[in-house]
Amino acid sequence: MEKRYILKLDNEIIGYTKFEHADVSMGVIHGKVMLEGIFSPYAFFRDHCVKFNVQINSDFQKEKFISTQIIPQLEIFFENGDQLKGWGGAIAGMEPDDFEIDFYGITSEMMQTEFNHHFAKYYGDE
């Protein structure tokens, strides 16, 4: 069974990811975001970034596409409730449901334990 990582923004659960991909050498994991209860993800993330002065890299209102820098209020939790430690996560995507998260600052130790499947694939140990 694939693990789910819970996404919280301002202490509210907004969805989850499975972190399907990684750049092991850079300490980055990323994956598709499955949002829950959010009518317009584009507006949701844009409004949050404007409110909290989070830098937006790209913002195309007509296409409803947004790409952010790290969102400090975005937290990732393991299913057991422990928080994933790192530099933070950035969101990019386009409506209706094509959003991804990049989470930066994963230590080598965390990559080898929690994300071993990515680590093993990178080092050819699969």
Domain that includes residue 116, residue range: 5-122
Q: What is the pLDDT of residue 113?
A: 85
Q: What is the pLDDT of residue 58?
A: 98
Q: Are 76 and 89 in contact (CB under 8 A)?
A: yes
Q: What is the pLDDT of residue 23?
A: 87
Q: How far apart are CA 123 and CA 20, in angstroms?
A: 17
- Which residues in the chain show pLDDT less than 50? none
Q: How far apart are CA 46 and CA 91, in angstroms?
A: 10
Residue 104 contacts by C-beta under 8 Å, 6 or more apart in sequence? 26, 27, 28, 70, 86, 87, 88, 89, 90
Domain count, the chain: 1
Q: What is the pLDDT of residue 119?
A: 65
Q: What is the pLDDT of residue 101?
A: 97
Burial pattern 25-47, b for ≥16 Cβ within 10 A else e, equals eebbbbbbbebeebeebbebbbe
Q: What is the pLDDT of residue 72?
A: 97
Q: What is the pLDDT of residue 1?
A: 57
